[in-house]
Amino acid sequence: MTASLIDGNALAKRVRAEVAGRTEALRARGIQPHLAVILVGEDPASQVYVKHKVADSEQTGLKATLERYPAAMQEGELLARIRALNEDKGVHGILVQLPLPKHMDTHKVIETISPAKDVDGFHVASAGALMVGQPGFWPCTPYGCLKMLDSIGYDLKGKHAVVIGRSNIVGKPMALMLLGRDATVTICHSRTMDLKAMTLQADVVVAAVGRRNVLTRDMVKPGAVVIDVGMNRNDEGKLCGDVDFEGVKEVAGWITPVPGGVGPMTRAMLLVNTIEAAERTSA
C-alpha cells in the first residue's frame, strides 16, 4: 500500500484565497486588517520567518508592519511598545518573533500581548481558552494540522490519535484540539517507555519532536494518517521531518510530506488568525 499525500502547499493556497476574500469584505467596510510583527535581534532563521509572514500577509491583502529592534533593546522598551500596539485600534494582530535575546523574559513578553491580538496563540489566556473550549486564538501549527485532517474529510470521533511531543506550542494544543473533536488522545514524549506500542494502536499520528526517524514503518498501523510537524536536516543537509517518509508511506493511508506539508499550513493559519482578530473587533 502507498499512502496518499496531504499536500500542504495546495491546501495553504486554498486557505489564503479564503482569507483574501474575508480581507476584501472587511476592506469594503473601510477596515484594513493589520498584523504587527516584532523582531528583536538578528537571528538568521527568524529574519527569514518574519519576511515570509509579512509577504504572505501582503499577498492576501492584509497589512503587515515589521518592526525591527536591536538585540540590545531593553525588555522594558519592548513591553512599552507592545502595550502601545495593544491600544492601537488600527492593529488587529501582534506577533513577537521567538526566540528573544537571552536577557528578555519570553513569558513576560508574550503575556503583555493583549489576548484579543494574540494571533500566535501563545498567551496563557489563549491556551486556557483552548483548554475549556472558549473562543480564542489557536497556535498556528496544530491548527494547521487539524485543517489538514479536515481537508481529507477525516472524522476523528472515537479514533485513537497519538501525539508525539508535548511542547506548549504544538504537542499539548494539538492534543486538546483532537480531544475537542472527540478523538481518544495519547500524548507520548521522550520518557514514554514503549512508543511503538502506542503508535501501532494509532489511527492518527502527529509527530512533533524535532528529531529525524522518530516514526518508522514498523511503528505504523496500516492505513493510519501520519502528520509530520518536524523540520530537520538529514546528513546531506536536505530538509526532512520527524517521520521516515519513504518507509512510512508504504504502510500509512495518508501522509504529509516535508517540505510542503505542515510548514505552509502553519504560515496560512497565522493569516486566518489575523483576519479572525480583525473580524472580531469589527463585528
Separation of alpha carbons 248 and 244, rounded Å: 6
**Which of 6, 95, 178, 225 is the binder for ligand GUN (CB under 6 A)?**
95
78 binds ligand GUN (CB under 6 A): no
Q: Which is nearer to ligand GUN, 25 or 124 (CB)?
A: 124
Quick note: the x/- pattern for ligand GUN over 146-185, rule CB under 6 A, is: ----------------------------------------
For residue 193, the tally of other CB atoms under 10 A from its CB is: 7
- Binding site, annotated residues: 165-167
Q: Out of 97, 186, 273, 274, point to the residue binding ligand GUN (CB under 6 A).
A: 97
Q: How far is the CB of 62 from ligand GUN (least distance, A)?
A: 16
**And the C-alpha cell for 235?**
546528513
Which amino acid would we find at residue 114?
S
- Specify the DSSP class assigned to residue 252: -
Identify which of residues 39 and 149 has a Cβ nearer to ligand GUN in the complex: 39
Which of 207, 241, 240 shows the shortest CA–CA distance to 224?
A: 207
Q: Which residue's Cβ lies closest to ligand GUN?
A: 98
120 labelled catalytic:
yes
Which C-beta is closer to ligand GUN: that of 113 or that of 207? 113
Q: In terms of DSSP bridges, do strands 239-240 and 254-255 run parallel, antiparallel, or are they unpaired?
A: unpaired
Consecutive H or E run containing 4: strand 4-5
Task: Respond yes or no: is residue 182 known to be catalytic.
Answer: no
From candidates 5, 20, 66, 98, binder to ligand GUN by CB under 6 A: 98
Figure out which of the listed residues 56, 118, 120, 244 binds ligand GUN, where binding follows CB under 6 A.
120
Judge whether 277 and 119 are in contact, CB under 8 Å.
yes
For ligand GUN, which is the closer residue by CB, 169 or 251?
169
Is 218 a residue of the active site? Answer: no
* Nine cell digits for residue 173: 494544543
Q: Is 66 in the site for ligand GUN (CB under 6 A)?
A: no
Provide DSSP, 123-173: SHHHHHHHHHT-S-PPPHHHHHHHHHHHHTT---TT-EEEEE---TTTHHH
Binding site for ligand GUN (CB under 6 A): 49, 95-98, 120, 140
Residues marked as catalytic = 53, 97, 120
